[in-house]
A = this chain, B = another copy of it.
């Protein structure tokens, strides 16, 4: 948190049908539906999140990700980073407070990989869902489906991940936690963190800009990953792969698709990071094991199905 960026705070995902999407994000993944806005967007959150929302579903003709937003410490930080983003050469746009219900002013910028990001300092604080802040119980009753606890990160595909690392590291204070290097030493995948988690955002080098690989949500335990897998089967949801473990980050994971074709991940555990940690490196020759630690081979789908 060298530059005052705290965490991934929200992601806006395009879906072909909002009601179908709610069956996925709310009923299956278990996010809490918070409210809808005048545009028809639906706001959701994981139950452990203290802010009002972390996922926004927008109905559109094409699936994919509109933007992901990071919360910063305060407005002073926001102003300072605003200037630095412009100076860095990003296309920067100001989004007024209230454009997302309950969210303060956002500074939107693009990355060399062709994705849209935002930073913001203020969001309505509604507290954890279903538990009090005084004498809080261990967990709330009434959670649905996979009972995901919070939005964790997204994985994005696009060109020039090197330039994107410069942006996230130098301007926003992210650190390179894990990477995949090809035999020439070129970085083809990078996992960046701004806190102690193994990743707050990840990028894979890819010719087409602005592609969305998946949004990821945290579960409590490996047993929850099994139950997630069971639910995927019971609901006849399209499975990508899992239950399995990643080599990168060592998280325990499962991937599956929403009705619009966007990939979702739910996972638990994995490595931790401190600023003095050397990046963990996987060699591209071991990419299969890096991605799917048990199978040790990639399925084509994982590399090519993007939204």
Chain A residues in the interface with B (C-beta under 8 A): 1, 6-7, 48, 50, 71, 73, 125, 127, 133-139, 141, 195-197, 220-223, 226, 229-230, 232-234, 239, 242-245, 247, 250, 252, 269, 271-272, 274-278, 280-283, 286, 289-290, 293-296
B226, A245: Cβ atoms closer than 8 Å: yes
* Residue of B138, B141, B278, B283 touching A50 (CB-CB under 8 A): B278
In the bound complex, do residue B286 and residue A135 qualify as a contact, i.e. CB atoms below 8 Å apart? yes
* 15 A-B pairs whose Cβ atoms sit less than 8 Å apart in the complex: A50-B278, A71-B276, A135-B282, A135-B290, A136-B247, A137-B234, A138-B230, A138-B245, A139-B230, A223-B223, A226-B252, A229-B245, A229-B294, A233-B289, A239-B295
Oligomer: number of copies:
4
Q: B135 and A247: CB pair below 8 A?
A: yes
CB closest chain-B residue, reference A279: B133
Q: Give A286 to B229 CA distance when docked, in angstroms.
A: 17
A298 CA to B90 CA, complexed, in Å: 48
Contact (Cβ within 8 A) A244 B245: no
Most chain B beta-carbon contacts within 10 A, residue among A48, A195, A283, A294: A294
- Assess the B250–A138 pair: CB atoms within 8 A: yes
Q: Distance (Å) between the CB of A194 and the closest chain B CB?
A: 10
Contact A73 B276 (CB under 8 A): yes
In the complex, the answer to whether B137 meets A239 with C-beta atoms within 8 Å is no
Q: Which of B196, B243, B276 contacts A243 (CB 8 A)?
A: B243
Complex: how many Å from CA A281 to CA B127?
A: 13
B220, A276: Cβ atoms closer than 8 Å: no
Q: How far is the CB of A191 from chain B (nearest CB, A)?
A: 13
User: Within the assembled complex, what's the spacing in Å between the Cα atoms of A232 and B289?
Assistant: 12
Q: Which of B232, B277, B281 contacts A294 (CB 8 A)?
A: B232
The CA of A136 and the CA of B141, in the complex, are separated in Å by 27
6 closest Cβ pairs, A-B complex: A196-B196, A229-B294, A138-B230, A134-B281, A223-B223, A135-B286
Contact A7 B274 (CB under 8 A): yes
Chain B: minimal CB distance from A209 (Å): 30
A133 CB to closest chain B CB (Å) equals 6
Given A134-B282, A222-B226, A229-B245, 14 more pairs with CB closer than 8 A? A1-B1, A125-B276, A134-B281, A134-B283, A135-B289, A136-B247, A137-B233, A138-B234, A138-B250, A195-B195, A195-B196, A221-B222, A239-B294, A242-B294
B293 touches A233 (CB 8 A): yes
What's the minimum C-beta distance from A207 to chain B, rounded to whole angstroms? 26
